[in-house]
Structure 1
Amino acid sequence: MHTTSRRNFLVLSGISALAAAGCGTASGSGTRNTTTLRYQGSAGQVTPPELAESLGYLGDLELEWVGNTISGPQDIQSAASGQTDFGGAFNGAVVKLASRKAPIKAVVSYYGSDKQAYSGFYVSEKSAIRTPRDLIGKKVGMNTLGAHHEAMLDIYLKKHGLSRSEAKQVERVVVPPVNTEQSLRQRQIDVAVLGGILREKALEAGGIRKLFSDYDLRGPFSAGTYVLTERFIKQNPETVRTFVTGVGKALDWSRSTPHDEVVARLTEIVGKRKRNESADALKYWRSFGVSAPGGRIAERELSVWADWLSERGDIKSGRVSVAGLYTNEFNGNHATKGS
């Protein structure tokens, strides 16, 4: 594992999964349950499943880390192709992948926006950018295209009257999250999308101001979900139930536990996993941003992005049945009215 590149490992994992299926080892009876889930993580950060495992909410279910990713679309594509067992992304990316007939299903929310956890679009304090129209001809740095941040930019521009042709003149540039602040300060980009730990760190350093945020646009909302393939769910229903319920409990724990205690737990997790990374940025952690109890999914959290993708021409209207794209069936956490 240590001497194998992440790319090679994922390829080999995919080949192994296909070989196993070809040999008839996978049972469609719904009784076979794996006790290991392969996944991708984030350097210097802790995901809700990792927190759930640390808190003992996954029981004897183990997480097998196969590498890191900064791209939600790539992460769910890896899950859809069998290179990993679950992946997480912006709900619009989930809808888009489903429109290509990928046999995936969203099972639990894992990140969102609230007063403490949000993605902001920042400019330097001396920037002449003050209004949406000032963005025409400017570069906006974000972690990936066709996902959460680009959607928020489109909504912001449309809300303030920019035409589609004018909005296209706002250049969207892919920048790794850890380099986004530096790129803004070095004037390689005009606007930087910063969220979570990286946002807090940049604000502490000063010299930047917020143009707008996703929370400003939409208020509190869950923005991304973990997906698994329908085949995996059918073969491993109890594993899925343990995973989904455990992640939901971890999200609830993070909201109800004193902030310092949560940060201490996250820091401990990073220290124990020994991935040659720093936990220093975790002192800026504020929230996962998921307000729904147990991370339960609401249909509107997917349908709004299906509409956005249709307006962009990325998918045909009615191409995806949003109601069939997600399920709360495996979430053992308390359901509230309408969830």
Structure 2
Amino acid sequence: MPPTRSPRRALTAAVALLTLTLTTACGAGAADGAQTRQLRYQGSVGQVTLPELAADLGYLGDVTLDWIGNVTGGPADIQATATGQSDFGGAFNGAIVKLQTAGAPITAVVSYYGSDAQTFQGYYVLDDSPIRGPRDLIGKRVGMNTLGAHAEAVLRTWLARGGLTAAEIGKVELVALPPVNTEQSLRARQIDVAVLGGVIRDKAVAGGGIRTVFTDYELLGAFSAGSYVFRDDFLTRNPDTVRTFVTAVGKAIEWARTQPRETVVARLKAIIAERGRNEDTTLVEYWKSSGVAEPGGLITDREFATWIDWLADSGELKGERPKPSDLYTNRFNAAATPGGGA
């Protein structure tokens, strides 16, 4: 399994595509000036996104979702949004920083996933692995869902805090793998460490034979890690639609936070069954929480500042560091108004 191409090259290609397509991007608003009430998006196999849950709960009102396919990584999802292939997309906040500072006119509007005591990303090895600490990863292979995103940022932060130099960190080989294949690759000893999160992690742990090296929650505490973004032109032309969407996602977060786990799981399974995509519902049986830290998915400076600093210190950002407040807005979220939450 060769490592995938450099995430920096992928980002450069995405920005080049963005330059070519922004002038003809679709979905920015109807020709007569009316706001669009249909949102194109990419889903996730065997799982239910928060917008899909919000739609099923009736929170979207007359705003409808148009599923255009599935995506396996956040960077690809927000690149599709930036280039007009979809109307919204979600990714790790560090990936949003990289794409926006590279010239993409996108803005984060609501958090949609994070890490807490129940839901987190862990770095797992086989029980008989000699890997215990940061220095043990030098020369080893780490499998994760996508490069240049959450899993890589957390790993490099852990390695740096463990005393590794930039040159030593560069000797840790990163391998991009679909989440559903990562556990299998670890058990087949094709990789030395597997990054597993959410329901996929719980299913793998339930199978036995693996142990945790560290988790992002242990490293950073509870935090929202990723946000949904829209293109800036879409926000300008469709503010009411975006407000409906953001507030609905926030309500879905709070609904899932306050309902018994069994109620949420049953709802997610029913949604998967009703949409008829021939999917396995096993993963949602392990659902525990969205991991979103703030009420209604509100975004805070901290959720971007952490990754701005990391990207700048690692040389990924050139020039002046952006301000976190330049990357996101809560103005479309009813939860930002006293008494206006879910």
**TM-score normalized by the length of structure 1:** 0.90
Tell me if 1:60 matches 2:66: no
Partner of 2:240: 238
Using the alignment, how far apart are the partners of 1:17 and 1:83 within structure 2?
A: 12
Deviation, structure 1 residue 320: 2.7
Q: Is contact 1:296–1:335 with CA below 8 Å preserved after alignment?
A: no
Using the alignment, how far apart are the partners of 2:103 and 2:302 within structure 1?
A: 21
Q: Is contact 2:141–2:172 with CA below 8 Å preserved after alignment?
A: yes
Coordinate RMSD, CA, aligned: 2.1
Partner of 1:106: 108
Using the alignment, how far apart are the partners of 1:319 and 1:298 within structure 2?
A: 17
Could you tell me which of 62, 65, 84 is aligned with 2:86?
A: 84
Deviation, structure 1 residue 26: 4.7
Q: Is contact 2:22–2:84 with CA below 8 Å preserved after alignment?
A: no
Partner of 1:284: 286
Q: Is contact 2:25–2:84 with CA below 8 Å preserved after alignment?
A: no
Distance 1:192 1:266, change over 3 A: same
| Cα deviation digits, residues 223-262 of structure 1 (max 9, x gap) | 0000001100110000000000000000011100000000
Using the alignment, how far apart are the partners of 2:77 and 2:123 within structure 1?
A: 24
Using the alignment, how far apart are the partners of 2:121 and 2:268 within structure 1?
A: 21
Secondary structure at the aligned position of 1:333 is classed as: helix
State which drifts further: 278-287 or 55-64: 278-287
Counterpart residue identity of residue 190, structure 2 = Q
Distance 1:16 1:106, change over 3 A: closer
| Cα deviation digits, residues 208-228 of structure 1 (max 9, x gap) | 000000000001000000000
How many residues align? The count is 320
Distance 1:255 1:20, change over 3 A: closer
Partner of 1:158: 160
Deviation, structure 1 residue 146: 0.8
| Cα deviation digits, residues 300-328 of structure 1 (max 9, x gap) | 10111111111111111425332121100
Partner of 2:265: 263
Tell me if 1:228 matches 2:234: no
Partner of 2:310: 308
| Cα deviation digits, residues 277-306 of structure 1 (max 9, x gap) | 111221111111002100000011011111
Using the alignment, how far apart are the partners of 2:79 and 2:43 within structure 1?
A: 14
Partner of 1:143: 145
Counterpart residue identity of residue 177, structure 1 = P
Partner of 2:325: 323
Counterpart residue identity of residue 269, structure 2 = T
Q: Which runs of 5+ in 1 are unaligned?
A: 1-10
Partner of 2:123: 121
Using the alignment, how far apart are the partners of 2:22 and 2:250 within structure 1?
A: 30
Q: Is contact 2:43–2:71 with CA below 8 Å preserved after alignment?
A: yes
Counterpart residue identity of residue 225, structure 1 = S
Using the alignment, how far apart are the partners of 1:93 and 1:219 within structure 2?
A: 20
Partner of 1:8: none
Using the alignment, how far apart are the partners of 1:110 and 1:100 within structure 2?
A: 23
Could you tell me which of 20, 24, 30 is aligned with 1:18?
A: 24
Q: Is contact 2:48–2:268 with CA below 8 Å preserved after alignment?
A: yes
Counterpart residue identity of residue 284, structure 1 = Y
Partner of 1:204: 206
Counterpart residue identity of residue 129, structure 2 = S
Could you tell me which of 178, 182, 187 is aligned with 2:184?
A: 182
**TM-score normalized by the length of structure 2:** 0.90
Using the alignment, how far apart are the partners of 2:162 and 2:90 within structure 1?
A: 31
Using the alignment, how far apart are the partners of 1:19 and 1:122 within structure 2?
A: 41
Distance 1:39 1:19, change over 3 A: closer
Distance 1:198 1:132, change over 3 A: same
Q: Is contact 2:121–2:217 with CA below 8 Å preserved after alignment?
A: yes
Deviation, structure 1 residue 32: 2.7
Counterpart residue identity of residue 216, structure 1 = E
Q: Is contact 2:144–2:151 with CA below 8 Å preserved after alignment?
A: yes
Secondary structure at the aligned position of 2:335 is classed as: coil
Partner of 2:7: none
Name the % identity.
57
Counterpart residue identity of residue 278, structure 1 = D
Q: Is contact 2:330–2:336 with CA below 8 Å preserved after alignment?
A: no
Using the alignment, how far apart are the partners of 1:26 and 1:71 within structure 2?
A: 32
Q: Is contact 1:20–1:26 with CA below 8 Å preserved after alignment?
A: no
